[in-house]
Structure 1
Amino acid sequence: MKPRTSGSVVRFAAPLKALAQRFSFLLLVLASIGLMMVGKIDAVLVDTVRARVTDAFVPILDAFSRPAATAARFVESLVEYQNVYEENQRLRTENARLLQWRQAALRLESENNSLRTLLKFKPEPGLTYITARVIATPGGSFVRTLVVTAGNRDGVRKGQAAIAGAGMVGRVIEVGEWSSRILLITDINARIPVSLESSRLRAVMAGDNSDQPRLLYLPPESPVAVGDRVVTSGHGGLFPAGIPIGVVASVGERGIKVQPLAELGRIEHLRLVDFGLGSGPIETEPGAGAK
């Protein structure tokens, strides 16, 4: 059996519930009108209540907004990082391209300067010459030599003078079909009849594998001074007279040294001149290579 109290409560609440459902809409309308009237009557009170309610919800709204702001900043950071990465890649590519152009410009400038030095020596009219590029310094039985990109097919012949800058630097000693070997004036096997341009004293310029060849066979007490120009003498049938070679660099107990007019260690292009005198011997004195 159910308790009588529970049944009495149900019987008493049922009419109230039906009454509330019937007049709920009316009650809501009346409540709305009441709130409007209160807002009109006491606006300060309503603003105060609204402010209190807003203050109560601020911590909750702040807590919810923080993760959203953090996520937004993270997304912005990712986008910015991607933009910086793409910009960095673009700059790297551009920098590599500019470096290639710079190397090409420097190479062309060096080649242009090397070719300009050849203009300092002007062969006599009627003489033929070939311009060649230096590709190696192989050494071998001749210590100081150069290999150039011109050979028999280009008209190179053994014995032709090699000119670089303002003076002679050597002679052709080997000729192939596509290349030739140049014996430099500083090689120990090189012997060239020369004379001092000012005094016309004759001598032989001999290489000793150093950067400055020596003058041999000068008469005793010869008036040789530092700065005197050294040119070919025309003797021995090797080269005509008057080709500039160098200047006297030092005069002392260790002999007379000649500084070549051309920088032999930085030669990039040569002019091979055919003076029409034949090949001639490599040495002008017996046993020169042993000195």
Structure 2
Amino acid sequence: MLEPRKNSVAHLATSFKILTRRFTDLALVGAALGLMVMGRVDVALIERVRVTTVDAVAPLLDALSQPTATVSIIIDRVQKHIVLDREMTFLRQENDRLKHWRNVALHLETKNQKLQKLLNFTPDPALNYISARVIADPGRVFVRSMVLNSGSSSGVREGQVAITGDGLLGRVVKVGYQSSRILLLTDINSHIPVITELSPSRAILVGDNYDRPQLAHLQAITEVTVGERIVTSGHGGAFPPGIPVGKVVSAAEGNVRIQPFVDMSNVEYVRVVESGLSGFLPMNPNFLKGDKNP
């Protein structure tokens, strides 16, 4: 009886093993399919979670970024205010200085008026200006002159003084209807009554066709220093007084040379001065032709 039982047990064990193998294979295949499906499902889920998280955090990031931009704007404005405050301080100081000098000028003007009344002083005639442009510079060996685009039609006449913003340039010697010619102070025919500011001493500024005219007819006891300013004296009624002419650049052995304030090589616009003075004699036409003799 034991043999039939053993055979049946063995048969059952064999059947169980075969069944187990089949189900195991199916389970493994199902697990593999499940993992594949779950992998795809997880990727989509992760993507959805990521998008949802970004959407949720975006307002927070925006709120955090706005204070940063606001702080940057505030810092920039503070820096600008600091610069403006410094500039305002400088401008206030400069304004205070200008007010001081204005008060000094008004005080001196009042004092000057009182002194003029005491001396019965007759003021110089008022100056009128005619603006003109240099259109030609026909300087030759013996004549240094310039041609202006204004003539008698603009009120220019012979004997008027030509100046720039730097000082004296020369005087008008020939006038046409729409043009005029000025003789430069460096020309050999130019003789201008001047006065030294520091000495003060009268003299004649004599042109010699060089860039630095000579100061002549100084008093023997006069000591002219280098750097001293020279202005027109107004004597003889030819030039208004006080027009800046130049400064002394050399004073060796009585040969005093002046450097004009006006750069003759760089003149574009000129102001012709009408002062009401009439101290000029008519210019000899031979002067403009290069003849050095009157």
What is the TM-score of this pair, normalised by structure 1?
0.53
* Cross-structure match for 2:137: 137
* Cross-structure match for 2:43: none
Q: 1:282 to 1:201 in 2, by over 3 A?
A: farther
* Cross-structure match for 1:253: 253
2: distance between equivalents of 1:140 and 1:159? 21
- Runs of 4 or more off by more than 4 Å in structure 1? none
Deviation, structure 1 residue 242: 1.1
Instruction: State the AA in 1 paired with 2:195.
Output: S
Deviation, structure 1 residue 166: 1.9
Q: 1:263 to 1:255 in 2, by over 3 A?
A: same
Deviation, structure 1 residue 230: 0.4
Percent identity over the alignment? 50
Q: Could you give the per-residue CA deviations for residues 58-93 of structure 1, whole angstroms, max 9, x where no partner exists?
A: xxxxxxxxxxxxxxxxxxxxxxxxxxxxxxxxxxxx
* Cross-structure match for 1:151: 151
Contact 2:159/2:173 (8 A) holds in 1: yes
CA RMSD of aligned residues (A): 2.6
* Cross-structure match for 1:11: none
Q: 1:233 to 1:167 in 2, by over 3 A?
A: same
Q: 1:279 to 1:236 in 2, by over 3 A?
A: closer
The equivalences for 1:206-245 within 5 A come to: 206-245=206-245
Contact 2:125/2:276 (8 A) holds in 1: no
* Cross-structure match for 2:84: none
* Cross-structure match for 2:173: 173
Instruction: State the AA in 1 paired with 2:271.
Output: R
* Cross-structure match for 2:65: none
Give the paired residue count: 165
Extract unaligned runs of 5+ from structure 1. Answer: 1-123
Deviation, structure 1 residue 257: 0.4
SS for the counterpart of 1:166 is coil
Contact 2:237/2:277 (8 A) holds in 1: yes
Deviation, structure 1 residue 141: 8.9
Deviation, structure 1 residue 254: 6.6
Instruction: State the AA in 2 paired with 1:198.
Output: L
Deviation, structure 1 residue 221: 3.8
2: distance between equivalents of 1:179 and 1:240? 23
Instruction: State the AA in 2 paired with 1:245.
Output: V
Q: 1:253 to 1:126 in 2, by over 3 A?
A: closer
* Cross-structure match for 2:272: 272
Extract unaligned runs of 5+ from structure 2. Answer: 1-123
What is the TM-score of this pair, normalised by structure 2?
0.52
2: distance between equivalents of 1:157 and 1:128? 13
Deviation, structure 1 residue 259: 0.5
Deviation, structure 1 residue 165: 2.4
Contact 1:191/1:282 (8 A) holds in 2: no
Q: 1:282 to 1:263 in 2, by over 3 A?
A: farther
Instruction: State the AA in 1 paired with 2:246.
Output: G
Instruction: State the AA in 2 paired with 1:268.
Output: E
SS for the counterpart of 2:278 is coil
* Cross-structure match for 2:185: 185
2: distance between equivalents of 1:277 and 1:235? 11
1: distance between equivalents of 2:259 and 2:184? 13
Contact 1:161/1:171 (8 A) holds in 2: yes
Q: 1:279 to 1:202 in 2, by over 3 A?
A: closer
